């Protein structure tokens, strides 16, 4: 009974979505802040995440407590504190009104899997098919179909060989219609057979 009660409490918090676009087939779980961002079809973002100025592709799987993007502070000023900046912030005092609010966009490709508690720096590009290990701190661009992990994150290995990666990227299967995906989905457990089967076919 306690489990069900806690589950309901977790769900009813809702998510904070502002100035953003969420595809009708995608899901953003409770406790997540999704600000000035967009998410394409058949993707999901878990509980208690923070996304600020991010573009998320299709078929992405994003676990709980993932942080992507966020505010920047002016390291080239005398102080990094927002009390010297013009925009509203957590602090009330204002000693100057310097304009500093850079909007750095972060891009997450298609079919990306991001593990729990990952931190991704604003402005980073995560390639299609990449896997980000849980607890990773990503400060640099991540190549397509790579598996990265650590702090700072490094490439552990590639999911497939170069030829398969190249063909998967060319296929753009994530742009396929539902009919296309239902037809070929049965081969998704065998990338080479899938690629052979779709040759010359229109999505």
- The CATH homologous superfamily to which domain 2-159 belongs is Hexapeptide repeat proteins (2.160.10.10)
Do residues 71 and 88 touch, judged by C-beta distance below 8 A? no
106-161 pLDDT, tens digit per residue, is: 999 999 999 999 999 999 999 999 999 999 999 999 999 999 999 999 999 999 99
- DSSP-derived letter for residue 11 is H
Rounded to whole angstroms, the Cα distance separating 48 from 181 reads: 31
Q: Which structure tokens are listed for 12? A: 């009813």
3-class DSSP state for residue 166?
helix
**Reported pTM:** 0.86
Q: Where are the beta strands (DSSP E) in 46-145?
A: 50-52, 54-56, 61-62, 67-69, 106-108, 113-114, 119-120, 125-126, 131-132, 137-138
Q: Token pair 């298609």 is at which residue?
A: 110
Rounded to whole angstroms, the Cα distance separating 152 from 64 reads: 20
Q: Which structure tokens are listed for 1? A: 């009974």
Q: Which residues are catalytic?
A: 73
59-110 pLDDT, tens digit per residue, is: 999 999 999 998 788 899 999 998 988 878 778 899 888 988 777 899 999 9
Q: Where are the domains of the chain?
A: 2-159, 160-203
Query: What are the C-alpha distances in Å from 151 to residues 47, 66, 135, 137?
Result: 22, 15, 8, 5
User: What was the pLDDT predicted at 6?
Assistant: 53
Do residues 153 and 142 touch, judged by C-beta distance below 8 A? yes
């Amino acid at each position: 009974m306690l489990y069900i009660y806690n589950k309901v409490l977790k769900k009813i918090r809702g998510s904070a979505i502002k100035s953003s676009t969420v595809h009708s087939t995608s899901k953003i779980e409770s406790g997540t802040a999704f600000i000035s961002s967009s998410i394409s079809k058949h993707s999901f973002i878990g509980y208690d995440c923070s996304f600020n100025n991010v573009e998320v592709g299709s078929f992405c799987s994003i676990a709980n407590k993932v942080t992507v993007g966020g505010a920047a502070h002016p390291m080239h000023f005398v102080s990094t504190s927002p009390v010297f900046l013009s925009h509203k912030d957590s602090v009330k005092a204002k000693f100057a009104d310097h304009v500093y609010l850079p909007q750095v966009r972060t891009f997450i490709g298609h079919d990306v899997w991001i593990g729990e508690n990952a931190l991704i720096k604003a402005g980073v590009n995560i390639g299609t098919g990449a896997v980000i290990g849980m607890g990773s701190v990503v400060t640099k661009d991540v190549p397509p179909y790579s598996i990265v992990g650590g702090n700072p994150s490094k490439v552990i290995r590639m999911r497939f060989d170069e030829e398969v990666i190249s063909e998967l990227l060319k296929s753009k299967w994530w742009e396929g219609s539902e009919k296309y995906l239902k037809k070929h989905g049965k081969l998704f457990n065998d990338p080479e057979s899938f690629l052979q089967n779709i040759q010359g076919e229109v999505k």
